[in-house]
Amino acid sequence: MKKVFSLGLLIAAMILVTFSSCKPANTVKNVTGVKLSETTKSIVVGGEFVLTATVSPTDAANKEVTWSTDKADIATVDNNGKVKGVKEGEATITVTTKDGNKTDKCKVTVTKKPIAVTGVELNETEKKLKVGEEFTLTATVSPADATNKEVTWTSDKPAVATVDNGKVKAVATGEATITVTTKDGNKTATCKVKVSNTDEAIILGNVGYLEDAVDGAYLYDLRLVYPADAFNDEGQVQKEGTLYVFTINSTKPATPTSNPAMGNYVAKAGTAPMTIMMGKNWANSEYSYAQSFNAQGYLTGEKKPIKAGGTLTLAANKVSFKGETDYGKADLEAEGELKTVANGPWRFEPKAVSTQTNKFTKGTITSYEMDNSLDLYMVCNQDGKILIADFFIAKGSTSFTFGKYDVEKKHGAQAVGTIQKSQGASVSALWQMASLYGFVQGTSVKTIYFFDSGSAVVSDQKVEFDVKSHFGSSLKITYEGPLTIKKGSVAAAKARARGLSPLKQGKGIFF
């Protein structure tokens, strides 16, 4: 009985041990951390991205997380980790585990939405340089608020012209194209660079055909100005420079407005075709010369004749000159269309010989001190007729000297007791064309008879003209009225003495 009890206890104990060793283990694991797929991120306004949260351990019982932003006005985040940029700035996105409140953060920078480049322009599209000269191109990217305004520069012929960050340098003669390219959008703009060894000049006004200026010759007047930027865009002088005047003898033109023959014109004496005329012209002035002017546009220097051997070359849309004056050597080139106008010095005078008679009773007389005489400048403008005459009397005189005055044999002599011989319309101002008789239409003088020979007799309150015009018409004009003299200003006298009138980039002379 005692053995049976012991055996039963042993069996019961073994069963108890067995059941105790088969009890299930505890499988619940707590969260130890969380990590985001990004710790920093940049996006633009309106841009989005998704953050991924990885909870540790991978077999954690509760992997639920919550999302938050410290600046919802800059960047938002939803329950799935999707972040969206709202406005420029910085915000911190935080993920938090529900189990254990473990966290990780991502710093989000929100930038302005990029504005695409739509184009680029250069401050110059064409440029002329001499070898060794430099200039800087400026690129303007559009729109002005484009995000990426970076550009690159290239030259298609670096052996002719190089470019470095917009600075262009002329290396050798030739032509090169400088290109600027935007990094955003590959937009381009170009500048054509022409490199030469000549100085850039401009063609001043039109070419004038000087019809009837010299018998047997077909003269043209052509003018260059150096430097090219002496004139502004409005055609006004903005800096000092040099005017080059060329009177060339071409071949006979088809019409008075036909351009002179293309080719080389060489400076030499005589009137042979294809030459630059030298010496004095009919107005006792240099045919071909250089003359300096100031920043106000007035010719201030002496006329320096073009020296023998100088060559003027006319080509399609280009004029070049290589030669010398007392100002020094010149190697000029000007581009532009040549347009010829009928600009003969006698073009306003009828060729048909006639007798013109008229009587004036109103007029003014102004005196100007000249180098060797006193110039009495008479102007009568009455009933659609105009008379302008320069009388030369002794310096210091206070009244009009009575007597006979002959038209001077050569313009510009200004001898006492003479009347100025007209140089015709080879100048731009009417007063410079004196002496003359003409017809006024409105505010313009369309018909002019230029004094060439003859005389005038001055007496008490009377002046009687009996002169011949350039083409031989007889001018029998009388003035009856006061001979009171008004003294002109010193500045005006100097201007008259030197024939000063401001240069303009015009298209011919009109009256």
Dump the DSSP string for 117-137: --EEEES-SEEEEETT-EEE-
**Helix, strand, coil abundance in the chain, percent, nearest 5:** 5, 45, 45
The first and second tokens of residue 376, run together, are 């009495």
User: Which pLDDT score, from 0 to 100, does residue 393 have?
Assistant: 97
Residue 205: burial class (beta carbons within 10 Å; 0-12, 13-18, 19+):
buried
pLDDT on residue 507:
32
- Comparing CA positions, the residue from 378, 349, 360, 374 lying closest to residue 445 is 349
Q: Three-class SS of residue 348? A: coil
Residues 6+ apart with CB under 8 A from 340: 206, 207, 208, 209, 220, 253, 256, 257, 258, 259, 260
Q: Is the CB of residue 439 less than 8 Å from the CB of residue 393? A: no
CB atoms within 10 A of CB 187: 20
**pLDDT by position in tens, the chain (length 511):** 444 444 444 444 444 444 444 445 557 899 999 999 999 999 999 999 999 999 999 999 999 999 999 999 999 999 999 999 999 999 999 999 999 999 999 999 999 888 999 999 999 999 989 899 999 999 999 999 999 999 999 999 999 999 999 999 999 999 999 999 999 999 999 999 999 888 889 999 899 999 999 989 999 999 999 999 898 877 888 999 999 999 999 999 999 999 999 999 999 999 999 999 999 998 888 999 999 999 888 888 889 999 999 999 999 999 999 999 999 999 999 999 999 998 888 989 999 999 999 999 999 999 999 888 999 999 999 999 999 999 999 999 999 999 999 999 999 889 999 999 999 987 767 888 899 999 987 778 889 999 999 999 999 999 999 999 999 999 999 999 999 999 987 555 555 555 545 565 543 322 2
User: Residues with Cβ < 8 Å from 186, sequence gap 6 or more?
Assistant: none
Distance (Å, whole) CA 473 – CA 477? 12
pLDDT at 360: 97
Q: Which domains does the chain have, with CATH numbers?
A: 33-111 (2.60.40.1080), 119-197 (2.60.40.1080), 200-342 (no CATH), 355-498 (no CATH)
- The predicted pLDDT at position 496 comes to 54
Give the chain's length: 511
Unique residue bearing structure tokens 């470095």: 164
Q: Look at residues 511, 470, 508 and name the one whose alpha carbon lies nearest to residue 346.
A: 470
The whole-number pLDDT of residue 15 equals 47
pLDDT the model gives residue 156? 97
pTM comes to 0.59
Type of residue at 453: S
